[in-house]
Amino acid sequence: MTITTVDGLIAGFKTTRYFHKSVGGNLTTGRPFSHWAMNGVPGPGAFSTSINGHILSSSQVVAISIASPAVVSVTPDHFLVAGDPVYFTTTGALPTGLTANTTYFVVGATVGQYNVALTPGGAAINTSGSQSGTHTAYAQIDGQLPFYDAPAGQSTYMARWAASTLVAGKLMLCDRLWHNGGYSATSNAVQTCTTPQWPDRDNNGGHTGEGVLLALEISAAVGAAAPTIQVAYTNTLGVARTLAPFVIAAVNSMVIGNFLPIALQAGDTGVQSLQSIKLSTSWLAGTINMVAYRVITTIDLLAAAAANHIGPVDGGLPQMFNGSVPFLLSTTPGAAPNATWGTLTVAQG
């Protein structure tokens, strides 16, 4: 189903949600900047330390064992940590011991598995009896703008977005599909990874990567060097591509949040998986991560402290797929620390 009428839009409007983010370190003029790890509302997000990374999803189909304690299993992995709130829905029946739409807290998280408790750090819950149907776990990823899936048979669209910032520029609303870590920022050797299949959130709601882009995000300040990069990826047609560079050059001493998009090779329209990166020289210090993301929409902020907004008509109702992990990127002509705030409203139908 889809929204095709004004009445459908009116019926589908959901709660308006507010965000603000503070940027503590200096930006780099003209380079995108990720608000993922910045303090604010929501609070800061974390980075993966795994070279193969984690897919990021605010909803995941899970299997729940009938055991003491119950084990929640996710394929290939989740990105939850102890204390994260999570709740479950099902198309059938959850095992005895778990109730749908009740908030639990993650305990005992390992790769692809976790337990849940009634309180943070509490005793892991035991399950018994029988179960049926497909179970889905909902957990907002630290750092993401809140997002909740559409009911079965419906879709979600970005309906209204208003924002302001203390530095003029452009603000992009993006869906963060995957990120990794574990790279050496001081190595100029080829560093390889085996990425999991992207979640079904490319431009077509699939995982072949249409519209999915790559970027290098800095999570701890790098040194006074400006390497180039060669990225090997597989495009949407499954063709291996190599030597993809930065869209815009790195500069010395970039701080956390600096976000350097990777240029696609000629004819490519997206990325299906990442195979390796190679820095031309050592970055001397710091921590770097790769991110797979999809741009949902952008808004122009024409001057400092000058809000702007787009609505469902002038915004074009871009679709946001189930499990989305929305986050913000900004590009400014200045380099000063700043703050950004705004609201986001979706429509479902």
Partner 1 sequence: MAITTLAQVRSGLQVPAQYIKSPNSNGVAGNWCTLWDRAFHPLPGVWDTTPAGVALVAPVTGQIAFNNPPSGNAYLARFAAMSQRSNVLGTGGAMLLDRLWHNGGFVLNTSSTQTINSVAFPARDENGSSDGVGVLLALIINTTSTTGGPPSTIAVGYTNSNGVAGRIATSLYATTAAVNPCHIYPLNLDVGDVGVRSVQTLTFTNPWTTGAAALIAYRPIALIPTDYNPRALAIDAISGAMPRLFNDSVLELWVEQGANTIFMASAEVTCTFG
Which residues, 172 to 231, sit near partner 1 by CB under 8 A?
A: none
| Residue span binding partner 1 (CB under 8 A) among the ranges 58-66, 187-195, 316-324, 338-346 | 338-346
- Spell out a b/e string for 150-177, using b for 16 or more CB atoms within 10 Å of the CB, else e: beeebbbbbbbbbbbbbbbbbbbbbbbb
| Residue span binding partner 1 (CB under 8 A) among the ranges 13-21, 250-258, 260-268, 274-282 | 13-21
Q: Which two tokens mark 188?
A: 């100029």
CA angle, 311 then 296 then 279, to 5°? 150
The answer to the question of residue 53 lying near partner 1 (CB under 8 A) is no
Q: Which two tokens mark 248?
A: 């815009």
Longest C-alpha distance within the chain, in Å? 60
**253-292 footprint of partner 1 as x/- string (CB under 8 A):** ----------------------------------------
Q: Is 107 helix (H, G, I), strand (E, B) or coil?
A: strand
C-alpha dist (Å) from residue 338 to 2, 288, 326: 38, 22, 20
The answer to the question of residue 44 lying near partner 1 (CB under 8 A) is yes
Q: Out of 1, 11, 123, 243, point to the residue binding partner 1 (CB under 8 A).
A: 11
Please give the size of the binding site for partner 1, defined by CB under 8 A. 52
The answer to the question of residue 341 lying near partner 1 (CB under 8 A) is yes
Expressed in angstroms, the distance from the first to the final Cα of the chain is 7
The answer to the question of residue 97 lying near partner 1 (CB under 8 A) is no
Residue 7 phi, psi (nearest 5): -60, -40
The answer to the question of residue 347 lying near partner 1 (CB under 8 A) is yes
Q: What count of other Cβ atoms lies within 10 Å of the Cβ of residue 10?
A: 12
Whichever of 11 and 67 has its CB closer to partner 1, that residue is 11
Whichever of 17 and 170 has its CB closer to partner 1, that residue is 17
Footprint of partner 1 on this chain (CB under 8 A)?
A: 6-7, 9-11, 13, 15-18, 20, 22, 39-44, 46, 83-85, 103, 105, 120, 140, 142, 146, 159-160, 162-164, 166, 302-309, 311-314, 339, 341-343, 345, 347
